[in-house]
Homo-oligomer: A and B are copies of this chain.
Amino acid sequence: MTSPTLSDVARAAGVSYATADRVINNRGNVADKSIAKVREAVTSLGYVRNVAAANLSRGRIYRLAFLIPRGSNAFFNRIRQHIDHAAAHHVSERVTAEVIEVAAFAVEGLQDSISALLERDFDGVAIVGLQSAALEAPLAELRAKGVAVVGLVSDLPRAARAAYIGIDNIAAGRTAGRMVGLAHGGQGGQVQTFAGSLDARDHAERLTGFREVLNADFPQVTVLDPIMTKDDAQVLQAQTQEVLTQQGLTALYNVGAGNSGLIAALRGGQGTRPFCVVHELVAHSRQALMERQIDLVIDQRPDVEINRAFTVLRALIDAKDLPPMPELVPTIYVRDNLPADALTDQMKAQDT
């Protein structure tokens, strides 16, 4: 009834507990004959290692760090909340997480923050990264020290991290494109796009995906070149106001941040407004959805991302195989399938 333990395996194999342990954990220094006997006992008994007991005996603790852009960006605030929440949830598993704020979107600042990590005793770090060769050297040093490194939300140079945890931004853009296309109901139209900066890879990729779908499947809808906003709400507000006076505009799509400005402009507008799609469910985009200033939010589920970051970092630290990692997929929100509210929304990652 109750599952077999290592003692059962050792007894069945006719070896000592310690020897059975050695083959289970590949510690070496075991005679081939013993290995064979233990392996056999394991399969015939259906032995499964009790990870909780192993961690307890080993007294392991996992010290994690998250490098997140400083600033008042609503999305990253949400990320920070999820980290705190996940950390609280993991205390009993002996994992601690510290959020370290770094200068936003600045290669040098990030580089310095990574170097500073060398002085600290972390076991794993998740970094909201940038694509810059300048990060490679400090990251290599960090990993040489045995620290597990993953990219989060925005990737690091590929060779410099063990995994990337974030959505496929081309898919996100395609999803937005599909929705905008569908909303035209077979009629023609013009979509104004907005982006923070095309140096930001995620922005560029979303735009690419968006264009792909509209060009291929909705050729009667024209995609206008993006207005650059630096993710600044003021810029977005001014530009949106201006754009709303254009004739023939049927949709708006912002691949970046600064949506509070866009929403403010829409709130002030009169008459029918264009179909509006933005990214990331935060307080203001949520409210705008409910109050019908916008139609759709594409969300990357930061709760799921943070949860996965914890799982992946722990697996890396334990030098275990990485768990299967299906691509993270963008979630579509309309006013009818919104999660309960900001607070409970925080807790969602528990499931899923």
Contacts and interface: CB of A to CB of B under 8 A. Distances in A.
Contacts of A295: 182
How many protomers of this protein does the assembly include? Answer: 2
A72 interface: no
A301 interface: yes
A209 interface: yes
A323 interface: yes
A171 B324 contact: no
Contact of A348 (B53, B326, B335, B339): B326
Interface stretch (A172-180, A236-244, A253-261): A172-180
Contacts of A51: 92
B174 A336 contact: yes
Contact of A339 (B61, B92, B172, B329): B329
A337 B331 CA distance: 8
A270 interface: no
A328 to B, nearest CB: 8
Interface stretch (A26-34, A108-116, A303-311): A303-311
Interface of A: 2-3, 48-53, 55-56, 59, 61, 91-94, 171-172, 174-175, 177-179, 182-187, 209, 213, 275, 295, 301, 303-304, 307-308, 311, 323-324, 326-327, 329-332, 334-340, 344-345, 347-352
Given A3-B61, A52-B52, A182-B295, 8 more contacts: A3-B94, A50-B94, A52-B93, A171-B337, A177-B336, A183-B185, A311-B351, A349-B351
